[in-house]
Structure 1
Amino acid sequence: MMDDYRQRKERFVSNLNGTTLFETGSVMITICSTYFLCQTLKSFISWPNIEKLSWMNYVIENVTLVIPMICVCTFLSSFSTWFHVILWLISILIYFLTKPTSSVSLVSSTSYSRNISWSNTDCNMYMYTCRMDLGVGLFAISHGMVSSEARNKQINVKELFLENIILFILGFIRLIVVKYFSYVEHVSEYGIHWNFFLTLCFMKLIGHCLLKITKNLISLIVVVMIFHEFILLKYFHVDNYLMSSNNVRKNFIDANREGIFSLGGYVCLYLIGVFIGRIIIHDESKQKFKQMGLQLFLGMVFLCVINWNSSRKLCNLSYVSSTAGLACMSLACFSITQ
């Protein structure tokens, strides 16, 4: 019974085409427009001690942040571009109707989870991506942005071990649960035993070791990307190996080839996250939000230009650059609205 259900679910999510970078970006920028709308609406209401009214914060944040994102990812997905334009116009209108009485920060208010997950497995591997592909890449970047390396904080071997052993245990638990309940999974994503928790674990470990070798982040990112893209994928033809339809998996590495050989790209995303994190920490401490926004915007323009044959499965140069570009776009919008 469970095997039949699993097979039907796998057929349902197989052979799907992804979407374009433009459409994915239009969904991403909606997050920025909802953030701006939330800020301006709080200033417009101008209730005394609004930050202390948790129920009012809850209502405003759900109406302006959660509900619009649900709409744009469901029945309004075909009109995402126009939807976020309307949100921006409403926000700008409210902004000019009232003079903000104080700087309202969402960081100090009640925090709610606003992550959108989109299960769109086994997409066409080239030219198109799906929101789940973007989600894992952005998670790797955000992991680097909040890491101790981004804050230039030195951690010892014990702290590094504790950080990574938790991710390893989560990966092992997920493996057991998925196999026990016969949960739907595609081996073409990470392999038979591998999963995203294990990728995060080894990504952080490798990234930390590389940063011990040199402090020059830009050079390190370039070297890692050259090794992964041009030596591993192209010179040794690992891309053909990963994209082959051969389902025979002889050993552990062969069984988990997708997860293992995509680590180089994820390490590059992690290092990019560390680099962006240092920019934000440096500029935010000096209240240079416009300068930070300009830097991130220029980074977005440069990175999004490198967009051909994007593949999350390979975690190639195009996927890394487009994901980092969309991350820079969102952060630039956030810094400008700040």
Structure 2
Amino acid sequence: MGPPHSVSDAHVKFVSGHSGSSGYEVVSAVSAVFPALLVTAIVVQGRCGWQWFVTETILLVLPLALSLTALSDFTFELGMSVAFVAVLALVLASHFRIPISKRGYKDEKRLGCITSLRGMLNLVAAVVILAVDFHSFPRRFAKTEEYGYSLMDLGGIGFVIANGIVEGRKKPDKWSVLRDGLALSLLGLGRLWLVHISDYQHHVTEYGVHANFFFTLAFVKITCSWWAWKLNLPRAVLAGVCLCVCHHLCLTVGGVGVWVLSSAPRHTLISANREWVVSLPGYVASYFFGVALGCHLFAGQNRRTHLTYSVICLTVCLFVSVVGLHHYLGLPSRRIANITFIIYAVFYTTMALAIYLTVETLAATFLRGLPTVPTIFHAINRRPLLCFLLANVSTGIINKSINTLDVPYPWDIIIIVAYTLGILFVLYFLFLRDNMQKLKHA
């Protein structure tokens, strides 16, 4: 076997066979983002420009990157330190009544908590897609092989839930749905072709031999997004619960779960991609739960304080549900997308929304409606698919250019941070360009 195959095999082995960590640690891994959001809001105040881009990356992006790499063993301490700074900044800003910039960017068409959620999910995904190939990224955050709680496991299903939140509230054009579904399918085929011709490392148990996440997005888009807007909150919840129950029966009583996690041969197209096929109902169910969340959020957007309390209560209920499912039905599994995995992902998403709503409520109460969504999150939210594509392409280029397993500390962290800032630089530049064009045509 030649050297390229040896390197590829070493990378696959490096990201395989992991059992994750605890649900608490998965939440703690990104805990610094939430108080950093408040600090960024007070300092930047939604203003755009390259000096503010640098400020946001220092206050928001750097703590996240460090919590996933160099400071991964001190995520709680980092989160508490940033929280202390956030409380101090809030007290000082409200006591001295700092002047609020009138040039802060606001997107009146969207709820700020949804923009922040999608921005955070994309930013975390961009960091971990490359970081997982370096030694500084802890293996407990990498994708689990069978069962367990892991930060990377939540990335894909978090995208689907977030898409359900926004797509379930608008009536789409059927041709646009087909166009987007076809585009995602072509991206999936393109990724499959590039992986094959470049002998790029491919972890088969992620989605199977041929499938990838672009195919999952295409399937959900084509089958659900063109009619999901007809669902109200109770119907969306009912659809998600019914699909979860049916899927659970297939996995357990039908023995499908055991088959997926086994070492059975992959001779046919279905058996070769059994993880992708079997997990699809779970992703569709999570999409329906996202639609239900969207119904609740948009219905209560004019009563922000009441909405915040209700989402906090929902988060508590989902936490209790996860504990119960963990105890009675077992650990989550991203390979089969079982019910524990789905509800844990919904809990994680709802918890983030609750925290963002709390930050917005604090800003409205003490800081006279200060914009709380970082401009970087606005830029990511404007082009989420481009962010995902840039992360995948950049990761591929870096992995083919250097052997990431041989990069020592701290150079691996420098590469991860530089790569993240490069992606954000492109998105921020396009965002500023769009705003300039709007001003010209105004």
For the superposition of Structure 1 and Structure 2, which TM-score range results when normalised by the shorter chain? 0.7 to 0.9
Structure 1 unaligned spans of 5+: 44-49
Which amino acid is 2:253 matched to? Y
Other structure's SS at 2:70 match: coil
1:70 aligns with 2:65: yes
1:217 paired residue number: 236
1:47 paired residue number: none
Aligned pairs for 1:74-153 within 5 A: 74-99=69-94, 100-102=98-100, 114-115=123-124, 116-118=127-129, 119=132, 123-126=144-147, 128-147=148-167, 149=168, 151=169, 153=170
Contact 1:122/1:186, CA 8 A, preserved across alignment: no
Aligned pairs for 1:176-195 within 5 A: 176-195=193-212
Contact 1:293/1:332, CA 8 A, preserved across alignment: yes
Alpha-carbon separation, structure 2, partners of 1:210 and 1:223: 18
Which amino acid is 1:313 matched to? R
With the length of structure 2 as denominator, give the TM-score of the two structures: 0.68
Q: How far does residue 206 in structure 1 lie from its aligned partner after superposition?
A: 2.6
Say which of 244, 255, 261 aligns to 1:243: 261
Q: CA 1:130–1:278 in structure 2 vs 1: closer, same or farther (change >3 Å)?
A: same
With the length of structure 1 as denominator, give the TM-score of the two structures: 0.87
Deviation per CA, 1:121-141: give whole Å up to 9, x if none: 562422x22221011121111
Contact 1:29/1:330, CA 8 A, preserved across alignment: no
Deviation per CA, 1:282-330: give whole Å up to 9, x if none: 323x1x2222222222222222332421111111111111111111111
Which amino acid is 1:64 matched to? L
Q: How far does residue 83 in structure 1 lie from its aligned partner after superposition?
A: 1.1
Say which of 21, 39, 43 aligns to 1:37: 39
Structure 2 unaligned spans of 5+: 108-115, 133-138, 361-442
Which amino acid is 1:11 matched to? K
Structural RMSD (CA): 2.4
Q: How far does residue 107 in structure 1 lie from its aligned partner after superposition?
A: 5.0
Which amino acid is 1:114 matched to? L
Alpha-carbon separation, structure 2, partners of 1:250 and 1:180: 21
Alpha-carbon separation, structure 1, partners of 2:143 and 2:79: 28
Aligned pairs for 1:246-325 within 5 A: 246=264, 248-284=265-301, 286=302, 288-305=303-320, 306-307=322-323, 308=326, 309-325=331-347
Contact 2:314/2:350, CA 8 A, preserved across alignment: yes
Say which of 58, 75, 78 aligns to 2:53: 58
Alpha-carbon separation, structure 2, partners of 1:67 and 1:221: 37
Other structure's SS at 1:98 match: helix
Alpha-carbon separation, structure 2, partners of 1:302 and 1:206: 29
Which amino acid is 1:195 matched to? N
Contact 1:140/1:270, CA 8 A, preserved across alignment: yes
1:337 aligns with 2:335: no
Alpha-carbon separation, structure 1, partners of 2:353 and 2:105: 15
Contact 1:145/1:278, CA 8 A, preserved across alignment: yes
Deviation per CA, 1:5-54: give whole Å up to 9, x if none: 211222222222312110111123322111111112346xxxxxx725x1
Q: How far does residue 332 in structure 1 lie from its aligned partner after superposition?
A: 0.6
Once the two structures are overlaid, the 10-residue window that deviates more, 10-19 or 21-30, is: 10-19
Which amino acid is 2:237 matched to? I
Which amino acid is 2:311 matched to? L
Other structure's SS at 2:31 match: helix
Other structure's SS at 2:284 match: helix
Which amino acid is 1:80 matched to? T
Which amino acid is 1:123 matched to? T
Alpha-carbon separation, structure 2, partners of 1:185 and 1:300: 36
Alpha-carbon separation, structure 2, partners of 1:32 and 1:145: 20
1:202 paired residue number: 219
Q: How far does residue 210 in structure 1 lie from its aligned partner after superposition?
A: 6.6
Structure possessing the higher relative contact order (Cα contacts under 8 Å, 6 or more residues apart) = 2
Alpha-carbon separation, structure 2, partners of 1:242 and 1:233: 9
